[in-house]
Structure 1
């Protein structure tokens, strides 16, 4: 069974701090919402567009997004990966190991 949290490396005499994987999903969701050229793929009752796995204390994020058809997809995804990485590192003092962005479709608005 996969872990539901990541234990941070800082340990003191009181105990160990652990962060639930839903925190990382929320940070990634906020980063996507701040980008005007990207939206999350529609969620279904059985699938959420942001997947998060913790395997051997490694954080693996998978995002399914739609990108505006007018922008360069490669640059947009690269910028989004950087934004998510920096946000998670800044807010949790933990660096994600893999951020996989999958372009599911395009926005024609």
Structure 2
């Protein structure tokens, strides 16, 4: 069965802090929504979400399908997005994502 959370390794006697996949998905979604050159791609099936978070062996893997504004450089926008998502997740949770995959599924005109 897939792991649904990541336990942070904090040195305290109060207990274990664990973050669910939805926390990481929400952070990534907010970063995408703040960028005017990107938006999450629409899906044709109702139960498929364009932003997927997987946790395997305490490794965080994010995969997202996005649409990019037509007039911008795709490599630059995607590279900046990866950096922003990495920084925001690290800043808000103290955990570093292991892999951030961005798939461009189309363009916005």
Same topology, TM > 0.5: yes
Instruction: Choose 71-80 or 2-11, whichever is displaced more.
Output: 2-11
Gaps of 5+ in 1: none
Q: Is the contact made by 1:11 and 1:17 (CA closer than 8 Å) also made in structure 2?
A: no
Equivalent position of 1:22 in the other structure: 22
SS at match of 1:10: coil
| Runs of at least 5 residues in structure 2 that lack an aligned partner in the other structure | none
Instruction: Report which stretch shifted further, 20-29 or 2-11.
Output: 2-11
Q: Secondary structure at the match of 2:60?
A: strand
CA offsets per residue over residues 45-101 of structure 1, 9 Å max, x none?
A: 210010000000000000100000100000000000000000000000000000000
Which runs of structure 1 show a deviation greater than 3 angstroms over 4 or more consecutive aligned residues?
Answer: none
1:1-109 alignment to 2 at 5 Å? 1-43=1-43, 44-108=45-109
State the number of aligned residues. 108
Alignment partners' CA distance in 2, 1:6 and 1:78: 25
Check conservation: 1:31, 1:84, Cα contact below 8 A.
Answer: yes
Shift of 1:26: 0.2
- Is 1:38–1:68's contact at 8 Å kept on the other side of the alignment? yes
The normalised TM-score by structure 2 is 0.96
